[in-house]
């Protein structure tokens, strides 16, 4: 399977919101614009990222099988158990007792789990003991050197 996961915990549904300043305007990834440098509102990241708190948990990705989908070793994944998985979703699934993170796919008319790294073969689901543990809704990873998620 090659993508190992560490379950970190669930969303604390009774924790008070922790608002963070949200800058007004858009941040350009091209040429900078000094005109948009004001705080517009406050943003609660939990409310922004998690639609179903009681059905959501966090998991840490381990491995390189999903790198072309932007999921890297040690990334923090937000997983929602209330979403019905469909082909194309990135899912957390237990296959024959091993947890993995892969894209739910169909090849022909059969269900598979596929990696986004071409070094890994698709995993057929027929004939295996499979349980879906949820759909990955967000991925959080550090961009600055020395920071970790």
The catalytic site residues sit at 65, 102
Q: How far is residue 92's CA from residue 60's CA, in Å, rounded to a whole number?
A: 11
User: Which DSSP category does 60 fall into?
Assistant: E
Angle 129-70-51 from CA coordinates, rounded to 5° = 70
Q: Among positive and negative, which fits the CA dihedral 74, 78, 82, 87?
A: negative
- Where do we find the tokens 């996961």? 5
**Which of helix, strand or coil describes residue 6?**
strand
As a whole number of Å, the CA-based R_g of the chain is: 18
CA distances from 32 to 15, 23, 38, 56, 141 (A): 37, 14, 14, 36, 24
């Amino acid at each position: 399977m090659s993508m190992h996961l560490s379950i970190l915990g669930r969303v604390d549904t009774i924790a008070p919101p922790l608002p963070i300043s949200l800058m007004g305007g858009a941040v350009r990834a091209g040429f900078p614009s000094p005109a948009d440098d004001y705080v517009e509102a406050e943003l609660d990241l939990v409310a922004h990222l998690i639609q179903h708190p009681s059905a959501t948990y966090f998991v840490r990705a381990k491995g390189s099988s999903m790198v072309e989908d932007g999921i890297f070793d040690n990334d923090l994944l937000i997983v929602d158990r209330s979403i019905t998985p469909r082909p194309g979703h990135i899912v957390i699934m237990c296959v024959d007792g091993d947890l993995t993170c892969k894209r739910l796919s169909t090849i022909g008319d059969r269900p598979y789990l596929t990696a986004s790294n071409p070094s890994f073969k698709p995993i057929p689901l027929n004939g295996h003991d499979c349980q879906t543990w949820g759909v990955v809704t967000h991925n959080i990873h550090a961009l600055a050197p020395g920071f970790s998620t």
